[in-house]
Structure 1
Amino acid sequence: MNIFVELIVSVFRMSVTLLSAWSKIFYRRTERKCLEGEVVAIAGCSSDICRFMSLDFAKLGSTVVLLDATKTDDDDTAEQIKQLGGKVHSYAVDVTKKEDVYRVAKQVTEEVGDVSILINNVELTSGQSFLDTTDHALRRTVDVNTMAVVWTLKAFLPSMILNNHGHIVTIGSILGVEGSVDYCTSNAAALSIHDAVSCELIIQNAHGVHSTLVQLGATNTNRRNVKLSEGMDVQYISDKIINAIQTNQEILTIPSYMNWILFCKSWMPPAASSLLQSHMGIVPVTRTA
């Protein structure tokens, strides 16, 4: 009898959870949380997407913290934010080295304050086939796309949980389901880490810490090492991501019809899946940078 009761309770809880999740998909909340005063750490500022997001966060009154190994790109973005009258701090950090990440995270906390929004952008790939990718390139891609997510989360997430206030964002790509092996591997790992951490936040009752998983399709940017045959405006992508943060949207796929690729991937044989993605314009290309 106890087993039967537990089964009924479990089915009821699962139904409530599913209805709640579906309601978030079909009935988006219209109220948006204010981002003024938030401390936003953005890792991977050399990408056009993160540069646009940095400017948009500054316009909304957030304090922007730029984290990137390429100081030149950070300085250019920081200068643009200052011209807008925004608050910005720039730090040179090798996100593949945990000691460097932890050192800079401590420095950010002391000089700026607790980071309340963390954005990781998974974008590095060799753009080559598996056997053509060198061991060094493969390892570098995994370090940048996967381990950097681990180190930055471990560095900045504790204060969010302590304050019960924060938001983590992981920006990946739909190309993670088909394309360069190094990118597929690292992208899938980064997204899985994001999902696992999001589940832990729920288990730990850290209801004030939210998460958003972004899966991108085409982008009109010359800094990504993979592309699709048709791209979207980067400003549009930035607007959608910031809106997702303001409304606590858990999953954002851009464009939304790309969800069909994920659905078809789950049951189609590899040959059919590759053909579908080819028709939809997914074109892995060789890295030129």
Structure 2
Amino acid sequence: MKRGTQIAGARVLIIGAGSGIGRLMALDAAARGAAEVLIWDLSAESGKRVADEIAATGSHARSFTVNVADSDQVALIAEDTGPVDVLVNCAGIVTGKKLLDADEDAIRRVYDVNVLALYWTTRAFLPGMLERDRGSVVTISSAAGFTGVAKQTDYSASKFAALGFTESLRNELRTDGSNIGTLVVCPFYINTGMFEGVTTKFPRLLPILEENHVASNVLDSIESGREQLVMPSLVRLLPAMRLLPTRTFDRVLDFLGVNKTMDHFTGRRPVSPEPNTASPAAELNSVEGAATHP
């Protein structure tokens, strides 16, 4: 395990920090003494609001309005942002529909934000880290990166890709002798406010994760040099269970309620169909910042 990157004194960039867990990580990074917290968000208003929150505490923050799906825009704004010590890719969207029900534009948007944006942002900031031979690249994947989920074909496949991206980057950096760290985060459900009264089929085995808990654990993992963060602990069994016969594995997932996610929530309320890029794996029902699915 490589040495971690200390948040204190670091320039920390969080993609999608205008709300949800991205916002909480930004606030926590400032509280830990980051030299500057850099906020990239699709919403100019949301990004500025978080930067103002941080500034009110006496810490330094700047916000930038960025569509991370646009590679040219990412490259241009990265120049204004300057080199960073920590890059947290925290944007993600999902259609939450069956394969034949999702329209082409929505599917392309999922891959643009959940997968291709990882390439554009990392390519923009990795050279500066390599030049100094220090830093951390963080990818928010999902437990869905370990198993395909019904009614979330595009999302699940994109999170498999995000996991593979980070693992490939880790090995590339490792074999090149670089000290740049990588961290992939794979959470299960996260209560980020889209649902009220959320419950799961087995709340003791698969509890709803609280936003602050996830955000602080991500920053702790960056500082410790951890390379994978899976939450809750039961989710660690999913990769191993993939070695079971397919039908057996599917029955396990059915027993846990993974393939009937929406049937095991209570207090569901309507949400906006408009996607944003604010939170990690935000995920159920087309909007990030939701009670997130794996």
Q: What is the TM-score of this pair, normalised by structure 1?
A: 0.81
Higher-RCO chain (CA-CA 8 Å, sequence separation at least 6): 2
Structure 1 segment 9-158 matched on structure 2, within 5 A: 34-62=6-34, 63-109=36-82, 114-158=83-127
- The structure 2 residue matched to 1:258, chosen from 229, 235, 258, is 235
Contact 2:18–2:40 (CA under 8 A) maintained in structure 1: no
Match of 1:4 in 2: none
Q: State how far apart, in whole Å, the 2-side matches of 1:91 and 1:259 are.
A: 36
- Single out whichever of 256-265 and 140-149 deviates more from structure 2: 256-265
- Give 1:257 shift: 1.5
Query: What amino acid sits opposite 1:38 in the alignment?
Result: A
Tell me the secondary structure at the aligned position of residue 141 of structure 2. Answer: strand
Does the alignment pair 1:239 with 2:247?
Answer: no
Change (3 A) 1:47 1:259: farther
Q: State how far apart, in whole Å, the 1-side matches of 2:236 and 2:18 are.
A: 27
- Give 1:37 shift: 1.5
Q: State how far apart, in whole Å, the 1-side matches of 2:14 and 2:238 are.
A: 28
Change (3 A) 1:147 1:284: farther
Match of 1:221 in 2: 192
Percent of pairs with identical residues: 26
Match of 1:199 in 2: 171
Q: State how far apart, in whole Å, the 1-side matches of 2:73 and 2:102 are.
A: 27
- The structure 1 residue matched to 2:249, chosen from 265, 268, 273, is 273
Does the alignment pair 1:178 with 2:148?
Answer: yes
Tell me, which stretches of 5 or more residues in structure 1 are unaligned?
1-20
Contact 2:140–2:184 (CA under 8 A) maintained in structure 1: yes
Query: What amino acid sits opposite 2:86 in the alignment?
Result: I
Tell me the secondary structure at the aligned position of residue 90 of structure 1. Answer: strand
Aligned residues: 253
- Give 1:175 shift: 2.0
- Give 1:46 shift: 4.0
- Give 1:83 shift: 1.8
Q: State how far apart, in whole Å, the 2-side matches of 1:122 and 1:199 are.
A: 23
Tell me, which stretches of 5 or more residues in structure 2 are unaligned?
201-206, 263-283, 288-294
What is the RMSD computed on CA atoms of the aligned residues?
2.2
Contact 1:219–1:228 (CA under 8 A) maintained in structure 2: no
- Give 1:223 shift: 5.3
Match of 2:181 in 1: 210
